[in-house]
Amino acid sequence: MAKVIIGTKENPVRFSYANVFEPKSINGSEPKYSVSIIIPKSNKQAIRDVEQAIEEAKKDGTAKFGSKFTSGNFKVPLRDGDIDRPDDEAYEDSYFINANGKARPGIVDRRLHPINDQTEFYSGCYGRASINIFPYSAAGNKGLAAGLNNIQKTEDGEALGGKARAEDDFEAIGGDEDDFLG
């Protein structure tokens, strides 16, 4: 298992499909916490860090499952958004990793204060992610997967998923009365 922290203050990653407060079941599977981590292709350091963790996890897998572990239909968690999500502009010119886990990830803000408000961390915000890349071999499938550890939100971003924030839909209404309902 290889731990990697993706994103920096200067080069954050973007989060999508964020199910980090409540676990979600996909196709009847065991519910898990998950997030898609979008890494711009221009973020060469993050890509190098992930590729290094992938190589380390491949070695772990070969030691655990044998010399043919990486042969055949071998899957890796780093995927190309231009190929795998061509119709989603959030993934354009980016790589992405889908990370998940049974345990709720720790989520903090820039100053390391815990985020528990679901409106504060959402699909579209930016930050850093701590993940583990680990080997698996089950039911004829083999490869590497990404386990979700922790998340740090560093900045807001345009919400993904088609829903606008209320603050963006309306302007403040001023007036002489503080409480118009009386």
The string of pLDDT tens digits covering residues 131-142 is 999 999 988 889
- Phi first, then psi: give them for residue 16, nearest 5 degrees: -140, 165
> What integer pLDDT is reported at residue 79 of this predicted model?
98
Rounded (to 5) percent helix, strand, coil in the chain: 20, 40, 45
> What integer pLDDT is reported at residue 117 of this predicted model?
94
Give the residue extent of every domain in the chain: 2-161
pLDDT tens-digit profile of 19-77? 999 999 988 889 999 999 999 999 999 999 999 999 999 999 999 999 889 888 899 99
Pick the CATH number of 2-161 from 3.40.640.10, 2.60.290.11, 2.40.50.140, 3.30.930.10: 2.40.50.140
Residues 17-20: contacts with CB under 8 Å, at least 24 apart: 17/98, 17/123, 18/121, 18/122, 18/123, 20/104, 20/105, 20/107, 20/121, 20/148, 20/151
pTM over 0.75: yes
